[in-house]
Chains A and B, each alone.
Chain A
Amino acid sequence: MRIKHLIAVSFLCLGVVSSSLAQDSLLDILKKESSKEPQYTIATFQATRIQLSHSVQTRKKNTLEISAMTRYWNTPSETNNAFVAERMSARFGLEYGITDRFTFGAGFSTINSITDVFMKYRLMRQQDNGGNKLSITLLQTVSHNGKNSSFYNVVNSESFSEKLSFVSQLLIARKFDRNFSLQIMPTFIKRNTIIWPSDDQNHFALGFGARYKVGRHVAIAAESYYISNPIESINTFSPFSLGVNWELSDLMLQFKMTNTPNFVEEAFITRTRRNFNFKDGNFFFGFHATYFIQF
C-alpha cells in the first residue's frame, strides 16, 4: 500500500516536472537557436565628420550627402558693425556611397578657392562580439588651391598640377562603449609646390578625435592634430575644434568652436594661423549642415 502511494506521488511529481520542463523548453529552444553571429558595431560616430576631419563612418550604397559648412569670425582690427560676424567662409560638398564601404566626394571652399575631391574606403569594421576591436578607414584627398596670393597661402604656383596637394589619412577608431568613441589619424600631407625653401613639401601629422554622446541624438565632439614638421615661413598652430553634433533624422547639424577658417585637410592641418582662444580674430564659430538622400 505504502509503495503504491509512493509510486503515485512520484508519478505526480514526474508529471509536474515534465510539464514545467515543457513550459521552459520553448524559451530554451529560443536560446539555443538564437543567432550568435557577430554584429558590426554601428554609429561609431554619428556623421562622416567628427568635427573638422573625416570619421571612420561611410554611408551605405546609393546614398548622397549634401553638406554646407560655414565658419564665422570677427577681425581684430576692423569695427564695421557687421551683422553677426565680419567674415565668413564656406564649403559646399557632395558625397556619394558607391558601395557600402567606398565613398567618393567633392567640394568647393570659398576660402582660397580650394576645390577638393576625396575617396574613402572602409577597410575594417569593429564587431560587437567578434574579433575586430577597431574600425579602420583609408582616406585620400586631392585639393586644388585656386588662389595663390592669399594671406593664408603658402603655395606659389601657376600651372594646375603645381596647385595640387595630397593628403593620405589612416583613420583608426574604436567605440569603447555606447557613448564614447575615439579616433586616431596618422596623416601624410604632400604639397606639389611651396613658396619658401624653408618650408617642407611633405608633412607628417597625428590627429586625435573623440565624441561623447550626451543624449540619444546629441554628442559632444572634439578634435586636434599634432604636426611633426610645421611650416616655418609663417607662424602656425595646431587646429582644434570643440562642438556639438545634433542628429535630426535626415539632417545632421554640427556646431563648433575652432581656430581655423579652413575646411580641407591640407589647409587646416598645416595652415592654421591662429591659436585657439576667444579673442576677435582667433575665434571661429562653425556651423555644418549635412542632408542625407537615399536613392
Chain B
Amino acid sequence: MNKKLLLLFLITVCSSFSKKVDNTYIDRQGKITFFSYTPVENIQATNTSVLSVLNADNGEIAVEVLMRAFEFKKTLMYEHFNESYIESDLYPKAILQGEIVDFDSKAQNQTKIVKGNFTLRGITKPVEIKVNIVKTNNYYLINGELEVEINDHDIRVPKILSANIAKKIQVSFNFQYESYEN
C-alpha cells in the first residue's frame, strides 16, 4: 500500500515537473514600439530585444523591457529618454506580470484580455490589454496595443517642451514564443 502510494507520489512529482518545462514558452527578441503623437513632433522608438515568458498551462505571462534597448531615429533622443525622462540608471527595466484571461492553449486564433500589473519607473499600475493570440505548430504569436499615461509613471516633461511629448504614449507589441528549454 505504502509503496504504491510512494510510486504515485513520485509519478505526480515527475509529471508536474515535466509538464512545467513543456508548457513554458519564451521570446527573447520580442518587439515593442512606442509612439508619441503631437502636432509639433512625432517620436517613435523600437526595442527588438524584449524578453517575455508564457506559461501555456494557465496563461500566465511575464514581460521584461530593457529601457536602454529602445532605439530612436534621432540619436540625441536616446540620451534624453534614458537620462532625463525614464532615468534608466535608476529604473533599468519595465516589467509586466499578468495572466491571459480564459487562455485556451489549443485554439488556433483567439482574442483575449491580459490582466496584470505594469511596472515602469518603479511605479506599478494595473492594466488590461486586449491581445490577439495565434497558435502555429511550434509558436504562439501574441500582439496588441496599450496606452501608457506619462503622469501615471511620474515621467515629467518640462513645461517648455510639453507640446513636444504626448500625455498618452501608444505602445504596440509583437511577440513570437517558442518552447522554452532550460
Contact = CB atoms under 8 A, between A and B. Distances in A.
A and B from one assembly?
Answer: yes
Residue of A10, A30, A63, A292 with most partner-chain B CB within 10 A:
A30
B3 interface: no
B178 interface: no
Contact of A27 (B9, B62, B82): B62
Interface in B108-131: none
Interface stretch (B50-58, B144-152, B166-174): B50-58
Interface string A28-50: 01100111000100110000000
B39 interface: no
Contacts of B38: none
Nearest to B72: A294
Contacts of A10: 9
Nearest to B161: A249
B156 A216 contact: yes
Given A7-B5, A25-B24, A33-B26, A248 B161 contact: yes
A63 B9 contact: no
Contacts, number: 95
Given A29-B53, A178-B90, A216-B84, A294 B74 contact: yes
B88 to A, nearest CB: 8
A108 B48 CA distance: 43
B64 A249 contact: no
Interface of B is mostly: mixed
Contacts of A34: 51, 64, 66, 93
B22 to A, nearest CB: 12
Contacts of B68: 39, 42
A77 interface: no
B60 A23 contact: yes
Given A178-B90, A217-B84, A249-B80, A26 B61 contact: yes
Interface residues of A, number: 34
Interface residues of B, number: 45
B16 interface: yes
B9 A7 contact: yes
30 contacts: A3-B2, A10-B9, A11-B9, A11-B12, A14-B9, A22-B55, A22-B60, A25-B20, A26-B53, A26-B55, A26-B61, A29-B24, A30-B62, A30-B95, A33-B26, A33-B53, A35-B51, A42-B82, A42-B83, A43-B79, A43-B82, A60-B75, A60-B76, A63-B75, A216-B156, A216-B158, A217-B84, A248-B160, A248-B161, A294-B75
Interface of A: 3, 7, 10-11, 14, 18, 21-23, 25-27, 29-30, 33-35, 39, 42-43, 59-61, 63, 128, 178, 216-217, 247-250, 292, 294
